[in-house]
Chain A
């Protein structure tokens, strides 16, 4: 399969990681993947990842939640079971707002959590990288750079050399050359 990872290298810091990406780029490679203990400044820009669309999903969910709540409140009071409650109007708009707001928040938040996980490819309890020797350091102090097998410019010798020259702690090749 094309986005199978072929090469993984562990580096000591975010800066090194970024430098290596540039080096491999010069070697013509383009299909990188990074794994870092925390978010590295400028990494996304370097890889040219587009801005996340997550906010739009959240907005939509919030609108659905709030709108639905208000509609329900209106419907149960005006249509389903109208009652004289202390001569308050059946459609008591101000009283309907708090629940509307809360539901907007609730639906938005649920959407935010779920889409963050799903878009981030979670949950996936198994991933090829987990098989890589020493990959555990990814949550400690290891900054990992990976190149996909589908990358046509990927050349074993030159890449290894370049990475080791750049001070990679470890260079691992996955699968058959």
Chain B
């Protein structure tokens, strides 16, 4: 299942090099050729592309049919960095780690390279023949499996397919696409509507197993709207309050003011008990009153209910997509009962969302009965992601065709394979989760002459071939009447094109259908999409594999998360391999002990254990999909057997406790306001200190950073953005095991409270740019020194690698090139940022406050002949942050947020008593606790 430790890191590097040799030619060609037809820049079209100066274009990245608007930085027509699109409602300028890493997937050496017939290269003409036959007899015997899509072009084509090929069957499928919520809402509202949240209006938010800032298609917008209500200036700031009720820790759980651990099957019960409380409060008809909560839960459920009622409609209760339809029905009822103005409903942006065509079952059955002549799979990886009870017998189809960008399991199972396109290579018009129309334009010509979904569907319909751009431009007036195509491309979105909310009528009879009794199973297993690999589609992306999990800090593996108490009862510790059995299907996986996990539960991420041709993904972790059945859903009773075998897990931070040190102070809003002890405790960690050292002149810009821990969810987008911006190398599992990971920015997470619900806070930790930098005076060769704008600078070319600086860094944020980690050749070197030096073996490196961006801004100011203000300088981590927890600017400028943050009562410096005078300060973690719950 997994390679022996000691081989994989090295072989992986070699593998890249080998793969690169073959790819180099195509790659270079790809990067040097710009799209044949013009595409439009973000702001205004540049008169001329200046070599060495990046150009920025707007486009959209799509996951399960939902668009996220992005700005792509290209150098000489080569995409190198992805930023969020501030004008796009699903991005608001931020992205997740996944979008950051998309640029590496574009250059993935394991992309499908050529059209093949059972492995033998063939031509598009033969594909056209196959599709022509599939057209015969009104498409009888032809089944098409698509990923859920919101593409307006695909919509048109599918409508024509339904009309002209009625006998063909089209199925939309992705393992984590929304199904339960739509079904639940259908039962309550009569229509499969989608929930819309206005979190900026919500005072009280209850997340029931819902990672609303993490794996929700609109997560980035949720995160921003949520965080905007939590910018604590001082003790009397107004703050919203978030209750997270979940099984395993999620970024939402980290942000929560109160977090309660329950088993997956108890979530529905909690919803019922909330309903009962509301009934008691006279908010709903008493006949709906389910049993009131008893036992330890009663206290906090009553408190939450009172808090919700007190919010007077400015509240939101959100159930996660993993929960069954009945729970979503319940929650819809709860929000209706509270007359919540923050939760509205609108039709989904996806084609046929919530309809029968989104069920994989019929296709699986048809295949099993051999009723499929031609099977056309477009995108996705159903052979790997299909539920264990709906496995696709692709080989039972007479002919199977796969269109996809990666040589994955499904590609291996199909007769014909057609190279697909990466989002950065194609033209399309898609919709964001709120329905906003978002054009997609290519940043680069297809690297491996891929074909788009629309092209395939059109060919199936027998249309004449037409260039991708023409297809879009011609369709635009039809699809989005009365808007400018060019303007849309330039902005990356069509303004106010979101689908409006619709009025709903609650069928109360359908609300309280959920069973009032929890599962009696000894242990429950919860299956979740991996925060970075998602459903496994990104498993071949080394950046994402090496990105530490927000909670467990695990890399290059998945493991069954288990609470300390349950682990003690079972006598297992982190790394022990356990056998999990669901409905007779068993899986052996290492356990990892995680504080804050609900007792008697296991949580396992999907997306690992890939077996396709993708060399990086292969053999990493185990596939949790093998335990997933549509019958049981994402939470199921599980039998656990402990084996006597272990696997060492590559965890970048094994330590959870603060060790009674004050590197991460946290307080409640009330304490910050009135508790003098807390206020002085925080004040002790900032301000001047006695020193013998003088100061060098600090005129001009003096760069500094301030990080608000109250709004940091640990989502790790900043870490990925830093790696993408600064060319930090991937080192592989074996090196991570020896604590040699190269990320310049790490997210320290600590359990900040004694109770078993284990409140976690996260502290981003990169170079603190100390004014009295301890690293500098121990360097024997002046390789690290101070710039006059307050940066702690590394001169790579001068470094001899004594590593004395790392020893003397109290924050241990310096990274060393133990080997020649950098990739020398291969397609993926094209993703590098040409503005940042690629470091050599034996050299120390660390965060530079993105000095290349600072210098670029200085040069631009000089060229424009205006005084350098530096207001436009944003570091990569700051720019990507969904909650805008990071601010950056000059201390000599009274107008910057950084200067203002320094004046707040919860501003502090880590290890202040060491006298290093760090330029990075933090705002302590503030929780808005419900007084009733203390």
Contacts and interface: CB of A to CB of B under 8 A. Distances in A.
Q: State yes or no: do A and B touch (Cβ within 8 Å).
A: yes
Interface of A: 81, 83-89
Nearest to B695: A87
A86 B770 contact: yes
Contacts of A88: 693, 776-777
A86 B775 CA distance: 8
Contacts, number: 36
12 contacts: A83-B782, A84-B787, A85-B779, A85-B785, A86-B772, A86-B774, A86-B786, A87-B693, A87-B695, A87-B771, A87-B773, A89-B693
B571 interface: no
B694 A89 contact: yes
A85 B776 contact: yes
A125 B423 CA distance: 86
A84 B789 CA distance: 11
Interface string B345-379: 00000000000000000000000000000000000
Contacts of A85: 776-777, 779, 782, 785-786
A86 B777 contact: yes
Contacts of A81: 782
B788 interface: yes
Nearest to B694: A89
Contacts of B779: 85
Given A86-B776, A87-B695, 4 more contacts: A84-B696, A86-B774, A87-B773, A89-B693
Contacts of B786: 83-87
Contacts of B695: 87
A93 to B, nearest CB: 12
Nearest to B808: A86
Interface string B762-782: 000000001111111101001
Nearest to B778: A86
Contacts of B776: 85-86, 88
Contacts of A89: 693-694
A91 B920 CA distance: 28
A169 B648 CA distance: 84
A87 B787 CA distance: 11
B341 to A, nearest CB: 54
Contacts of B771: 87
A83 B694 contact: no
Mostly, the A contact residues are loop
A21 to B, nearest CB: 59
Nearest to B790: A84
Nearest to B777: A86
Contacts of A87: 693-696, 771-773, 786
A84 B791 CA distance: 11
Contact of A84 (B774, B775, B788): B788
Nearest to B787: A84
A99 to B, nearest CB: 12
A84 B694 CA distance: 11
Interface string B231-258: 0000000000000000000000000000
Contacts of A86: 770, 772-777, 786
Contacts of B696: 84, 87
Closest 3 pairs between A and B when the two form their complex, measured CB to CB: A86-B776, A84-B786, A86-B773
Contacts of B772: 86-87
A84 B785 contact: yes
Interface string B658-698: 00000000000000000000000000000000000111100
Which of A84, A85, A86, A88 counts the most B-chain CB atoms under 10 A from its CB? A86
Interface in B17-44: none
A83 B793 CA distance: 12
A81 B770 CA distance: 22
Contacts of A84: 696, 785-788
Nearest to A82: B696
A88 to B, nearest CB: 5
Nearest to B770: A86
Contacts of B694: 87, 89
Nearest to A95: B777
Contacts of B777: 85-86, 88
B140 to A, nearest CB: 78
Nearest to A85: B776
Nearest to A84: B786
Nearest to A90: B696
Nearest to A92: B777
A81 B779 CA distance: 15
A83 B693 contact: no
Which of B693, B696, B771 counts the most A-chain CB atoms under 10 A from its CB? B696
A74 to B, nearest CB: 16
A122 B734 CA distance: 62
A84 B787 CA distance: 7
B696 to A, nearest CB: 5
A87 B695 CA distance: 6
A84 B773 CA distance: 10
A46 B333 CA distance: 121
Nearest to B786: A84
Nearest to B775: A86
A83 B783 CA distance: 11
Interface in B690-727: 693-696
Contacts of B773: 86-87
A81 B782 CA distance: 10
Contacts of B693: 87-89
Nearest to A81: B782
Contacts of B774: 86
A162 to B, nearest CB: 69
Nearest to A88: B777
A88 B785 CA distance: 11
Nearest to B691: A87
B697 to A, nearest CB: 9
A83 B694 CA distance: 14
Nearest to B697: A84
Nearest to B692: A89
B770 to A, nearest CB: 7
A157 B374 CA distance: 133
A77 to B, nearest CB: 10
A89 B772 CA distance: 11
B498 to A, nearest CB: 52
Nearest to B776: A86
A86 B914 CA distance: 14
A123 to B, nearest CB: 38
Contacts of B787: 84
B909 to A, nearest CB: 16
Contacts of B785: 83-85
A83 B696 CA distance: 10
B731 to A, nearest CB: 29
Which of B695, B775, B777, B779 counts the most A-chain CB atoms under 10 A from its CB? B777
A89 B694 CA distance: 7
Interface string B634-672: 000000000000000000000000000000000000000
A89 B691 CA distance: 13
Which of A81, A83, A87 counts the most B-chain CB atoms under 10 A from its CB? A87
Interface in B726-779: 770-777, 779
Contacts of B788: 84
Nearest to B916: A86
Nearest to A76: B782
B899 to A, nearest CB: 21
A90 to B, nearest CB: 9
Nearest to A86: B776
A87 B771 CA distance: 7
Interface in B779-831: 779, 782, 785-788
A87 B786 CA distance: 8
B930 to A, nearest CB: 46
A114 to B, nearest CB: 31
A88 B915 CA distance: 13
B893 to A, nearest CB: 21
A85 B774 CA distance: 9
A85 B795 CA distance: 13
Nearest to A83: B785
Which of B770, B773, B775, B788 counts the most A-chain CB atoms under 10 A from its CB? B773
B88 to A, nearest CB: 43
